[in-house]
Amino acid sequence: MINKEKVIEILKTIYDPEIPINIWDLGIVYDIEITENNDIIITMTLTAPNCPIADIILDDIKFSLKNLDEVNEVKINLTFDPPWSPNMMSEEAKLQLGLF
């Protein structure tokens, strides 16, 4: 059965093309739900509501997670509440971008 740690491991391989940080450490993934049917529901945001590369990120997430044998469906719920801010990044990401 798929677990949250495996999903996070996959999300850490997906990068925002405009920022050299993976989407997990960037802090744009708010929630991961795994249903009994092995559907994965991701609640996330983008760094900006009019993000020009949103489709690329969303397609990368779906493609990467659907490649896991156990996964049935991948659903992504986009939200802008709360809006993303650099404070949501992991300490590692902030260090990488020189924000400390």
Total domains in the fold of the chain:
1
Q: Is residue 62 part of a domain?
A: yes
Q: Is residue 46 part of a domain?
A: yes
Element (H, E) at 30: strand 29-34
Tell me the C-alpha distance between 23 and 21, whole Å.
6
Q: Distances in Å between the alpha carbon of 12 and those of 24, 37, 48, 60? A: 6, 24, 20, 12
Cα angle for residues 51, 55, 58 (degrees, 5° grid): 105
Q: pLDDT tens digits, residue range 56-98?
A: 999 999 999 999 989 999 999 999 999 999 999 999 999 988 8
Q: What CATH number corresponds to the domain at position 27?
A: 3.30.300.130
Classify 56 as helix, strand or coil. helix
Q: Is residue 44 part of a domain?
A: yes
Residue 99 — pLDDT band, cuts 50, 70, 90?
confident
The pTM is what?
A: 0.92
User: Which pLDDT value is given to residue 1?
Assistant: 77
Domain interval for residue 10: 4-86
Q: Is residue 56 part of a domain?
A: yes
Q: pLDDT tens digits, residue range 28-54?
A: 999 999 999 999 999 999 999 898 889
Tell me the C-alpha distance between 60 and 66, whole Å.
10
Burial of 62 (0-12, 13-18, 19+ CB in 10 A): middle
Q: Is residue 99 part of a domain?
A: no
